[in-house]
Amino acid sequence: MNWITKFMFMVSEGLLIPVVLFLVAAFGASLWLAGGFYGAYMNRLALKRRLKMFLTQAAEQGVTALAAPAFDGPDRFFQALRSMRRHDWRPAHVEKCLADFETACRKEVEFPKMLMRVGPMLGLMVTLIPMGPALTAMASGDIASMAYNLQVAFSGTVVGLFVAIIGFVVHLIKHRWAAEDLNHLEHFWDLIKEGKK
């Protein structure tokens, strides 16, 4: 039994460096995600203003009567509308566009969701692995080694939670944006179907 526990201790200590590297990579990815989210948020503000005008025009003139420049825009929302319009609002194609749009939105929120879940796991591992050496150092009276290991442990918890918070906030807001955009696309499709009756 003694050799099993020694083996587990060796594996646990050996995992510390790879797990710390993964946690640092996740931290960097969360900062990159936060920067990208800021850019997306600024674009979203412009899209909301444009969408409001577009909705007003669509209600007044009808979606089919809107001129081509009304559909211009780099956003995924307007790309989906252009694709529907290009195929003359055929039901089979519109349904495929809506399904593709929903799939793309789900794919976009997968990365923040992964960070939200992986961050605390890695943080917990970085917390627990140094606790063994810290307890051993405490038993032998090596206060400096114990303090260092505890510092590593608590730092891992904080970084892991930071990664999770960024992932959670971005996931939550992007999920809401996707739901709003899909709702607008379905609304336009309903307007088209009403106009064709």
pLDDT in tens, 60-94: 666 655 555 556 666 787 788 788 878 777 888 88
Rounded Cα distance, 197 and 185, in Å: 19
Please write the tens of the pLDDT for every residue from 132-152. Answer: 888 888 888 888 888 888 898
Confidence of residue 112 (pLDDT cuts 50, 70, 90): very high
Query: Any idea what the Cα angle at residue 18 is, between residues 155 and 3, rounded to 5°?
Result: 100
Written as six digits, the tokens of 174 are 């992007």
Rounded Cα distance, 179 and 192, in Å: 20
**192 alpha-carbon distance from chain centroid:** 32
Residue whose pair of structure tokens reads 């961050």 in the numeric block: 119
pLDDT of amino acid 93: 86
Rounded Cα distance, 99 and 84, in Å: 12
Please write the tens of the pLDDT for every residue from 120-134. Answer: 999 999 998 888 888
Rounded Cα distance, 172 and 112, in Å: 9
pLDDT of amino acid 68: 54
Determine the residue type at 145: S
pLDDT of amino acid 165: 96
3-state secondary structure of 197: coil
**Using only C-alpha atoms, what is the Rg of the chain?**
26
SS3 content of the chain, % helix, strand, coil (to 5): 90, 0, 10
Exposure class string for 124-155: b at 16+ Cβ within 10 A, else e: bbbbebbeebbeebeeeeeeeebeebbebbeb
Alpha carbons within 13 angstroms on the beta-carbon side of residue 86 total: 9
pLDDT of amino acid 125: 92
Rounded Cα distance, 112 and 115, in Å: 5
pLDDT at 54 over 80: no
Rounded Cα distance, 59 and 67, in Å: 14
Rounded Cα distance, 18 and 26, in Å: 12
